[in-house]
């Protein structure tokens, strides 16, 4: 089995396993106690904090261990907003943040706060200028990920941090995807990360709050972890997380070169091997191991199941793999194709032979899914002079796009196809299809049922 979903959770690093087992023997006592076993546990905790702080590039007393990366995000955002409540109740986030950040923003908005969501370019990157425009006198906090978890695009953290610093606004950086590869540059104020993203054990997060940043931890607290993560520390997991972070950093420069070459091969060859594919994300400013592409006329869930049958574990942002049947918020914000979406995220040590086998298998899998799905005759295709109406109501992705592709040739150049659909994904996938096929997306109109999407034939 080839595991290609390291962006979700990286396999446990051998150093993490060794450190975890050793800490189970020596780190079981309460590190707040003064007797011998407690002192030994405290030494392990302090050493882990020093190692993690060195990797982040911060002081040890600025770093707290939390029960998860999500908890670090929630605690960091809530504490920073509370600490600056006199400034105002305005929060800025990018449109492609991890769900943990967006959920915090939703909770803040529900509590009466205001949230500005900064848009991104088609590559998935935000602009410092957009953050500067979004800043207000009552802005309490801004958030920006260091790199995107779905498409691998690196964000301009240093430039955004400078804009925020000039305005006196702290910047919280979600560094979950990038910390294993290196420090986050720039004058950020708060940082969060998650150990299972770099090969540490799950259940350990990092929260860094720079000295001088106003911060008021919310909820019940105790004396542990500066009051930011109450409860008994999972010391064996913390030790393993710090040890594995140091280990992956030692390998990062060499491994990044190797993985960049493998993902570049995937980015280049997938469009050559599989017709009607869009590779998404920034082609240059990206994490080493992530490559994402979307396949027209493919059911994303079926595609992932078929790849699993062939021995490949990958993930997807396709609406067809979601219980809500809505496209990934990241792909939606980028304005790219969502149907048949595949994210390949290679773990450290991924074999070149496995990547080659993936490229050999993929064309047949996609072709098989397309054949199995078929290209059904539109429910209703009525000729109205220069326009054809396609009724795809009640049909989910990628059927509306397939039906559009089937009938576009039945109208003359300059003629239009009106696609009726009640699937939210159509709002994203039909314009993306038009761009890929050199047709003109005219826009959308309300319909008696669902929405009418208008396409003009150009070629």
What integer pLDDT is reported at residue 383 of this predicted model? Answer: 45
Q: Is the pLDDT assigned to residue 323 strictly greater than 70?
A: no
Residues 6+ apart with CB under 8 A from 284: none
Question: What span, in angstroms and rounded, lies between the C-alpha atoms of 339 and 408?
Answer: 19
Average pLDDT over residues 345-364: 96
Task: Give the count of beta carbons closer than 10 Å to the beta carbon of residue 172.
Answer: 31
Average pLDDT over residues 378-401: 74
Q: Is the pLDDT assigned to residue 373 strictly greater than 90?
A: no
What integer pLDDT is reported at residue 338 of this predicted model? Answer: 87
Coil vs helix vs strand at 386? coil
What integer pLDDT is reported at residue 318 of this predicted model? Answer: 60
Question: What span, in angstroms and rounded, lies between the C-alpha atoms of 150 and 243?
Answer: 26
CA distances from 81 to 86, 92, 141, 375 (A): 9, 11, 6, 51
Residues 6+ apart with CB under 8 A from 185: 157, 158
Q: Is the pLDDT assigned to residue 375 strictly greater than 60?
A: no
> Residue 232's pLDDT band (boundaries 50, 70, 90)?
confident
| Burial status of residue 217 (CB atoms within 10 A of its CB: 0-12, 13-18, 19 or more) | buried
Task: Give the count of beta carbons closer than 10 Å to the beta carbon of residue 268.
Answer: 13
For the stretch 128-150, pLDDT in tens is: 999 999 999 999 999 999 999 99
Degrees to nearest 5, angle at CA 427 with 424 and 430: 125
Average pLDDT over residues 369-385: 57
What integer pLDDT is reported at residue 321 of this predicted model? Answer: 47
Question: What span, in angstroms and rounded, lies between the C-alpha atoms of 121 and 94?
Answer: 11
Average pLDDT over residues 33-44: 92
For the stretch 300-322, pLDDT in tens is: 888 999 999 999 999 987 655 45
Q: Is the pLDDT assigned to residue 197 strictly greater than 60?
A: yes
Question: What span, in angstroms and rounded, lies between the C-alpha atoms of 220 and 414?
Answer: 65
Q: What is the largest CA-CA distance in the chain?
A: 89
For the stretch 56-91, pLDDT in tens is: 999 999 999 999 999 999 999 999 999 999 999 999
Coil vs helix vs strand at 335? coil
Coil vs helix vs strand at 282? coil
Residues 6+ apart with CB under 8 A from 131: 92, 118, 142, 144, 160, 163, 164
Average pLDDT over residues 24-30: 91
Average pLDDT over residues 417-423: 93
Please give the mean pLDDT across all residues of the chain: 92
CA distances from 393 to 82, 296, 379 (A): 46, 19, 9
Q: Which residues are catalytic?
A: 320
Question: What span, in angstroms and rounded, lies between the C-alpha atoms of 33 and 40?
Answer: 10
Q: Is the pLDDT assigned to residue 30 strictly greater than 80?
A: yes
R_g (Cα) of the chain, nearest Å: 24
Q: Nearest Cα to 102, choosing from 68, 70, 59?
A: 70
For the stretch 203-214, pLDDT in tens is: 999 999 999 999
What integer pLDDT is reported at residue 222 of this predicted model? Answer: 77
Beta bridge partners of 64: 207
């Amino acid at each position: 089995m080839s595991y290609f979903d390291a962006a979700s959770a990286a396999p446990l690093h051998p150093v993490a396993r060794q450190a975890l087992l050793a800490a189970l023997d020596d780190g079981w006592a309460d590190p707040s106690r003064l007797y011998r076993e407690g002192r030994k546990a405290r030494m392990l905790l302090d050493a882990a904090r020093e190692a993690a702080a060195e990797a982040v590039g911060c002081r040890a007393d600025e770093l707290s261990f939390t029960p998860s990366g999500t908890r670090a995000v929630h605690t960091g955002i809530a504490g920073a907003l509370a600490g600056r409540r006199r400034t105002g109740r305005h929060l800025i986030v990018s449109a492609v943040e991890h769900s943990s950040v967006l959920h915090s923003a939703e909770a803040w908005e529900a509590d009466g706060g205001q949230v500005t969501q900064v848009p991104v370019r088609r590559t998935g990157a935000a602009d410092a200028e957009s953050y500067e425009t979004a800043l207000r006198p009552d802005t309490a906090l801004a958030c920006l990920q260091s790199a995107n978890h779905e498409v691998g695009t690196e964000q301009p953290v240093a430039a955004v941090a400078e804009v925020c610093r000039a305005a006196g606004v702290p910047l919280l950086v979600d560094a979950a995807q990038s910390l294993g590869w290196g420090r986050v540059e720039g004058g950020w104020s708060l940082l969060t990360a998650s150990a299972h993203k770099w090969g540490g054990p799950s259940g350990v997060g990092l929260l860094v709050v720079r000295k001088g940043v106003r911060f008021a931890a919310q909820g019940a607290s105790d004396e542990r972890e500066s009051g930011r993560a109450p409860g008994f520390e999972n010391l064996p997991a913390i030790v393993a997380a710090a040890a594995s972070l140091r280990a992956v950093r030692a390998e990062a420069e060499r491994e990044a070169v190797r993985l960049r070459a493998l993902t570049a091969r995937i980015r280049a060859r997938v469009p050559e091997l599989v017709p009607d594919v869009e590779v998404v994300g920034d082609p240059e400013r990206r994490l080493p191991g992530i490559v994402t592409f979307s396949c027209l006329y493919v059911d994303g869930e079926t595609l992932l199941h078929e790849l699993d049958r062939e021995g490949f574990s990958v993930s997807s942002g396709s609406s067809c793999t979601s219980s809500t049947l809505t496209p990934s918020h990241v792909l939606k914000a980028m304005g790219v194709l969502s149907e048949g979406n595949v994210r390949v995220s290679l773990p450290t040590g991924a074999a070149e032979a496995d990547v080659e086998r993936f490229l050999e298998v993929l064309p047949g899998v996609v072709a098989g899914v397309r054949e199995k799905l078929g290209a059904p005759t539109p429910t209703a295709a009525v000729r109205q002079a220069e326009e054809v109406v396609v009724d795809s109501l009640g049909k989910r992705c990628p059927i509306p796009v397939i039906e559009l592709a089937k009938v576009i040739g039945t109208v003359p150049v300059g003629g239009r196809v009106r696609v009726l659909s009640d699937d939210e994904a159509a709002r994203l996938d039909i314009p993306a299809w038009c761009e890929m096929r050199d047709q003109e997306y005219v826009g959308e109109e309300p319909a008696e049922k669902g929405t009418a999407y208008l396409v003009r034939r150009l070629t």
